[in-house]
Amino acid sequence: MHHLGFILILLLIAPLASAHAVPERGVVYQVMVDRFYDGNHSNDGSFYDPSHKNYRLYWGGDLEGLTEKLDYIKSLGVSMIWVSPINDNINRMAFGSAPYHGYWTRDYKRIEEHFGTWRAFRRLVEEARKRGICIIVDYVPNHSNPATDGEFGSLYDNGTKVTDYYADAKKAKLNPYTGSLEAIYHHNGDITEWSGFQLKYANLYGLADFNQLNPWVDEYLTEGAMLFLENGACGFRVDAVKHMNLGWLESFYLRLYSERPLFIFGEYYSLSTERTADLYDFYRYSNVSSLLNIPIRNDIVRTFATFGGLDALARELEAYYSNFVYPNKGLNFLDSHDLVRFLNIAGRKDKLERFHMALALTMMLPGIPVIYYGDESYLVSKEGKGDPYNRPMMVFNNFTEASRIIRTLAELRKTNDALAFGDFKTLYANYSVWAFERAFGSHRLLVVMNKGSSTNLTLALDWPDGTYRDALYGAILTVRGGKSALYLPRNSFYVFHVERPQRVPLIGSLTPYTAQPGQEILIAGAGFGKDGKVLIGRRRAEVISWNSTEVLVRVPRLETLEGWVDVVVETGGKRSEPARLRYYSGSDVPVLLVVNATNLSGQLWLRDNLPELAEPRSLLMSSTGYYFTVAPLPNGTALSASLYEGERWGALTPLNVTLYGKVGGGALLLSEKPPSEGRNYLPVVALLLLLGFLIFRRRG
Ligand code: NOJ
């Protein structure tokens, strides 16, 4: 019996353990659950509009419906499904809308009754897995639901009411260091200024903003996410990361990653690539987890839907991607539930051709493509606007040209690693013609497009002599002596590719690329052979599994002061170039680091000689006279941190101030005196006192 139980548990766990997949070799399909397919009419419930006319009500889509349509989704060649939030939402209307979109959670441990149950979720995971697809859940740890409408921020812990925004307000206390009024929630009004303190500590569009540093909240949100992992999710899309302290997210992610390698990506809403403070912080977040490539989306759409040069786009994208350690881990998309769909923006006669080009481009750029449900079937709303009209009921049609493009390029992605891990180099660009090359070792890719009148293009191309066939339309490219010539009709888009065997080990990616000792990471690439060894920060890592393109290892404990360490694969006497891993010391807890701001001003930064603080962290100024930041730090760590001053994107000037403190959980006010000074003298003083006492007694 005992054995049987054990075997059963093993059987249950085994498929999860083997569910690691390399995200870059896949494509994500984004689904808004309510608008996809109604598989169970018995849960249509309240605020339901069977006519599908009122965009602000539930339309019946659910997890059973999604499960029913898995074969359809599979037919597009995708490998991950990002489902809109499915946690239990409020049971009332708020701001004139039902929470059909899923972003107004009230219980992070239950599934929304309109969408299904945990059992339905597990079935979805299992059926998807059978088809080589894994489920990524949209998780919303920044806020629960509207604070001043609906259920007023009501919060439940697996069915038991914990609080609401008004009850919580009565318990709220002023945090002396941050100046935030807080309990379970922050009580600092709505965001009116989109920078600094408010961005993280005020309510986003009136949504009750969590105080993640409250230990109960921290544990509750972590347990909620863990439930999805226990039920088989392979990752998360994390909502509104811009509005949470990066330091808290880091410790949150590390706890999730300690389960198994996951694919977590964040939504950092920033609509342009302009070098603002916002974009600087966007890149800082990307050092910790993947992000949706929101900043480039509008320019991609504009260039194809209305006007704009491909040459300008090429320059912008090259500059954008060069700011990432892992540009291939970001997520490219054309449409989403937050933006007006391409086909609603483009008014031109050739808009379908342009849509196909833009769709293909998002699948060819560095980064993982996201297909928004209905992109393949040209789904639009007749209202033609953004939220909520960009969320019409799904129309299933996988016989379209868009579906063919998605399927063809998703398949190519599985076999051509230049798509998954390659670099990005423009070979030629003018207003309407663009040719770029991507290479990963012996895998190559040449993408050529023309959105203007037909033309001939000659290119210098260091590919072996021969003819190459375009993956999409069968166009032929001939290369002779490093030169190639190509005829490009109007609105053409060609993809040429080469896959030759890779002889030297080459690392394409780490999943995840942030880790602490003991954590498993998946190394993906080529030429890994049958076996070998892996060095992380020059230490040998335990190998869990090995094949020629994927190696699973456990991160060793390192004695390092660096934030990034090298990962190297060795096989058959050959060694790969290093890949970079963001290293954390282990057992990190989120700590509020505080600096007394008397005599200080301007934009300050803090750094220290330990991995977590190796990159300077920007400090926020509080209304109570302190500077502060949140960082994940191992308990008991002694800090001797340095302060810097300087603007984002600019140079930092050291202030020659050293600040000391010891991490002990909760807030840590750093002081200018090393804490050890007093402590070192304590035993000596005690000894002297004791001696004095003894001498005194003898004499007496
Ligand atoms: C971003 C989501 O994508 C959006 O749809 C949602 O309303 C907000 N975050 C708030 O959760």
Q: How far is the CA of 168 from the centre of ligand 1 (A)?
A: 23
Q: How many whole angstroms separate alpha carbon 221 and alpha carbon 141?
A: 6
The CA distance from 77 to 372, in Å, is 14
* Ligand 1 atom closest to the CA of 142, numbered from 1: 11
The answer as to CATH 3.40.1390.10 being correct for domain 26-144+233-416 is no
Q: Which residues line ligand 1 at a C-beta cut-off of 6 Å? A: 103, 140, 239-240, 267, 337-338
Distance 694 CA to ligand 1 centre (A): 71
Confidence at 666, pLDDT banded by 50, 70, 90: confident
Distance 238 CA to ligand 1 centre (A): 10
Q: Could you tell me the distance, in angstroms and rounded to a whole number, from the CA of residue 534 to the centre of ligand 1?
A: 40
Q: What is the C-alpha end-to-end distance of the chain, expressed in Å?
A: 75
Pocket perturbation via mutation, ligand 1, pick of 56, 90, 103 by most ligand atoms within 8 A of CB = 103
Q: Answer whether the bond into residue 327 is a cis peptide, omega within 30°.
A: no
DSSP 217-279: HHHHHHHHHHHHHHTT--EEEETTGGGS-HHHHHHHHHHHHTTS--EEEE-------S--HHH
The single residue listed with the structure tokens 């809308």 is 97
Distance from C-alpha of 607 to C-alpha of 644, rounded to nearest angstrom: 8
Quick: pLDDT tens for 422-446: 999 999 999 999 999 999 999 999 9
Q: Under CATH, to which class is 506-583 assigned?
A: mainly beta
**Angle, alpha carbons 323-329-331 (nearest 5°):** 95
Residue 681 is predicted with a pLDDT of 53
Q: Which two tokens stand for residue 346?
A: 């483009």
Digit-coded pLDDT (tens) for 61-119: 999 999 999 999 999 999 999 999 999 999 999 999 999 999 999 999 999 999 999 99
**What is the Cα–Cα distance from 492 to 353, expressed in whole angstroms?**
8
Q: In this structure, which residue's CA is closest to atom 11 in ligand 1?
A: 103
Interval 174-199 mean pLDDT = 98
Atom of ligand 1 nearest to the CA of 269: 1
List the residue whose alpha carbon is closest to atom 3 of ligand 1: 338
282 is written with which tokens?
A: 């966007």
How many helices (H) and strands (E) are present in the chain, helices listed first? Answer: 16, 42
Q: Where are the domains of the chain?
A: 26-144+233-416, 506-583, 588-669
Residue 89, classed as helix, strand or coil, is: strand
pLDDT of residue 667: 96
Domains 26-144+233-416 and 506-583 share a fold: no
Question: Per-residue pLDDT for 224 more than 70?
Answer: yes
How far, in Å, is the centroid of ligand 1 from the Cα of 687? Answer: 62
Catalytic center residues: 239, 267
The residue behind tokens 């935030």 is 180
Atom of ligand 1 nearest to the CA of 140: 11
Residue nearest to atom 5 of ligand 1 (CA): 338
Residues 509-552: pLDDT tens digits?
999 999 999 999 999 999 999 999 999 999 999 999 999 999 99
Residue with tokens 């297909």: 371
* Cis preceding linkage at 556, omega within 30: no
pTM, two decimal places: 0.94
- Ligand 1 atom nearest 240 alpha carbon: 9
State what percent of residues in the chain have pLDDT above 90.
92
Q: What is the DSSP letter of 597?
A: -
Quick one: 588-669 is in which CATH superfamily? Immunoglobulins (2.60.40.10)
